[in-house]
Amino acid sequence: MLKLSVIGTGYLGATHAAAMSSLGFEVIGVDTDETKIAQLNLGKVPFFEPNLEELLTQELASGRLKFTTEVSDAADCDVHFICVGTPQLKDSLAADLSYVNASLHAVAKIAKAGSVIVGKSTVPVGTAERLSKELQAINNQVELAWNPEFLREGFAVEDTLRPNRLVVGVTSDHAENVLRQAYKPLLENNVPWIRADLPTAELVKVAANSFLATKISFINAMAEICEAAGGDVTVLAQAIGYDPRIGSRFLQAGIGFGGGCLPKDIRAFMARSEELGAKQSVEFLREIDSINLRARQRMIDLVRADIGNDLKGKKIAVLGAAFKPDSDDVRDSPALDIAAQIHASGALVMVHDPKAIIPARARHPELTYSESIEDVVNAADVILHLTEWKIYRELDPQLLKGLVKHPVIIDGRNALNRELWLKAGWKFRALGRSSAS
Ligand code: UGA
């Protein structure tokens, strides 16, 4: 049985380590953050991800899974998965590769002969070939492969154990065979296996995220047109989605995409394409990015259309801070960005989120937060529904009507039941649905 290491224990690495252990492998997770490692060794996941804490506890108890801050503890591993972050650089569109570079160099020094280092982080195309050369200079007994990860936050465990495909960028049969052994339990369930060269494997990941971002911005552009022409984007999305060539998923119009992946990945793709002399090929992503950011502005315009330009002294209730439901991640969260912009215009903004209040407060301490929906909506001039948590769909509009100052709700995610709110006497507004209500 192979022994595996996972370098970097954030969303991707912590999930990958626990999931690979559950497949029966001995796994050691490595991270430089001592607090994170101490927490993981106690079975505590430092972020919210459904089912992960249970899996982690189960795997620690099995004795197969351990976490350490010492990369040398991973010296006897056959496969080293690099799962560190590649955030956007502060002063450019490009990705910060310092964590990937540092991990590769650290592992290269301790890896045993015949082992394979496998990059899972999202990197600009060409990174793997460069790292491969650097690896050869430090340790020519070890190979580098690239195996992009497609997991979604909120479904991380499910997506890791039941991926819809496995893509491996390799330069030798040996590396492919080692990876086939590592994923054997998944391959037995007929998961499609795609062998590629290093640049193609890197590109698959950014191409997939660019496509998803494009789909969301496409429907948000249609929402703008619906607003101008008096149409309803939810009906339009449903109707075009029945065409199997289009498909109905990722056509939810609203305040757009955020998180730690889609926004920074399309920007890094533009930056890299320019370096490659192929700027024009992904120039459309610039428009995808602007449509996405415009959706946030349109939400604020809807607020102003309802309560007037002067937001000073108005109470705005915000439901949702996370970038999407079932996650406490607030990185580039459209919901939190909108809340902060409205606050900056002088309104009193009170924010509710079932899981993300602590990370949201760390990023935007100027906003007011409450764990009680009643507190948040109490005496509100308008309610904004910005992250589509299930509990918000279960709210009783009749009951809330007695708490607010004005019964006005703006659905930024097109996820609420409009008829229900209208029946209870609310003014209901939503992005891309200009039909009178
Ligand atoms: C995304 C991809 O979906 C994963 O396949 C990929 O592995 C991951 O990035 C990554 O690169 O690591 P994730 O960031 O977890 O996953 O979130 P998504 O489910 O893709 O949602 C992204 C954003 O788009 C969210 O803010 C969501 O609210 C928004 N969205 C999604 C819409 O506005 N409309 C939709 O129809 C779908």
Domains of the chain: 3-196 (3.40.50.720), 206-288 (1.10.1040.10), 294-430 (3.40.50.720)
The alpha helices in 319-383, defined as continuous H runs, are 334-344, 357-363, 373-377
Nearest to 82 by CA among 176, 10, 130, 164: 10
* Residue 86 DSSP class: -
Exposed, middle or buried by CB within 10 Å (0-12, 13-18, 19+), for 245? exposed
| pLDDT number for residue 257 | 98
CA 154 – ligand 1 centroid, Å: 10
Atom nearest to 258 CA in ligand 1: 26
Nearest to 237 by CA among 433, 434, 437, 436: 433
- Averaged pLDDT score across all residues of the chain: 97
Is 261 noted as a catalytic residue in this protein?
A: yes
Cα–Cα distances in angstroms (integers) from residue 265 to residues 86, 130, 131, 269, in the given order: 9, 19, 20, 6
Q: What angle do the packed helices 284-307 and 262-275 form, to 10 degrees?
A: 140
Ligand 1 lined by 386 (C-beta under 6 Å): no
| pLDDT number for residue 272 | 96
Nearest residue CA, atom 37 of ligand 1?
250
Atom nearest to 249 CA in ligand 1: 36
CA 262 – ligand 1 centroid, Å: 7
Average pLDDT in the 364-393 region?
A: 98
- Please give the share of the chain, as a percent, with pLDDT higher than 90: 99
Cα separation, 371 vs 373, in Å, equals 7
Annotated catalytic residue within 77, 83, 226, 261: 261
Ligand 1 lined by 406 (C-beta under 6 Å): no
Q: What digits encode the pLDDT tens for the residues 314-370?
A: 999 999 999 999 999 999 999 999 999 999 999 999 999 999 999 999 999 999 999
CA 249 – ligand 1 centroid, Å: 11
Determine contact, residues 216/256, Cβ cutoff 8 Å.
Answer: yes
CA 313 – ligand 1 centroid, Å: 35
| pLDDT number for residue 434 | 81
Nearest residue CA, atom 17 of ligand 1?
152
CA 257 – ligand 1 centroid, Å: 7
Atom nearest to 252 CA in ligand 1: 36
Give, in degrees to the nearest 5, the angle at Cα 205 between 200 and 211: 110
Cα separation, 57 vs 345, in Å, equals 45
Nearest residue CA, atom 21 of ligand 1?
257
- Please give the share of the chain, as a percent, with pLDDT higher than 70: 99
Cα–Cα distances in angstroms (integers) from residue 285 to residues 30, 222, 272, 301, in the given order: 35, 17, 13, 24
Average pLDDT in the 167-181 region?
A: 98
Exposed, middle or buried by CB within 10 Å (0-12, 13-18, 19+), for 384? buried
Q: What digits encode the pLDDT tens for the residues 66-114?
A: 999 999 999 999 999 999 999 999 999 999 999 999 999 999 999 999 9
Nearest residue CA, atom 16 of ligand 1?
152
| pLDDT number for residue 435 | 64
